[in-house]
């Protein structure tokens, strides 16, 4: 099946630890995105990548890091520098040719205590 996989669905970490969220796609889409959503809030762009080995900061990149070594994968690391990491994280992709809507993964709910 074509789609976007985010794992795990729920993630718990202690404060001060770095944690990496996985996002894998088999849609052959060029662009990939990470968004953060807080309860009752909209989606805020953390990072996005238009091609392999290239990525740009979104509106709330502080405390996060990404890599794009393969077209299929765009992992997000939430570092200890992120002051309020508890949130719902959504990964999305966008076709570089023809298509115009984003496809979203099921999300990872991160809780840091």
Partner 1 sequence: AQKITQTQPGMFVQEKEAVTLDCTYDTSDPSYGLFWYKQPSSGEMIFLIYQGSYDQQNATEGRYSLNFQKARKSANLVISASQLGDSAMYFCAMRGGNSGGYQKVTFGTGTKLQVIP
Choices 18-26, 61-69, 77-85, 90-98; region in contact with partner 1 by CB under 8 A? 90-98
Residue 37 or 80: the one with the smaller Cβ distance to partner 1 is 37
Choices 17-25, 62-70, 71-79, 86-94; region in contact with partner 1 by CB under 8 A? 86-94
Place of tokens 């999300």: 107
Residue 61 or 80: the one with the smaller Cβ distance to partner 1 is 61
Taking CB under 8 A as the criterion, the residue among 106, 110, 111, 113 binding partner 1 is 106
Taking CB under 8 A as the criterion, the residue among 21, 23, 48, 76 binding partner 1 is 48
Q: What minimum distance in Å lies between the beta carbon of 39 and partner 1?
A: 11
Residue 26 or 56: the one with the smaller Cβ distance to partner 1 is 56
> DSSP letters along the chain, please?
---EEEE-SEEEE-TT--EEEEEEE-S--SEEEEEEE-TT--EEEEEEEEETTEEEE-SS-TTEEE--SBTTB--EEE-TT-S---EEEEEEEE-SSS--S-EE---EEEEE-
104 sits near partner 1 (criterion: CB under 8 A):
yes
Task: Dig out the tokens for 94 from the structure.
Answer: 């966008």
Task: Dig out the tokens for 74 from the structure.
Answer: 């765009």
């Amino acid at each position: 099946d074509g789609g976007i996989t985010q794992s795990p669905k729920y993630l718990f970490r202690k404060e001060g630890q770095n944690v990496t969220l996985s996002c894998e796609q088999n849609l052959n889409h060029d662009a990939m995105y990470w968004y953060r959503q807080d309860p009752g809030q909209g989606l805020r762009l953390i990072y996005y990548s238009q091609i392999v080995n290239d990525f740009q900061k979104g509106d709330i990149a502080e405390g996060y890091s990404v890599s794009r070594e393969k077209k299929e994968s765009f992992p997000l690391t939430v570092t200890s520098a992120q002051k309020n990491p508890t949130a719902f994280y959504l990964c999305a992709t966008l076709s570089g040719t023809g298509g115009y809507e984003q496809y979203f993964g099921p999300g990872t709910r991160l809780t840091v205590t």
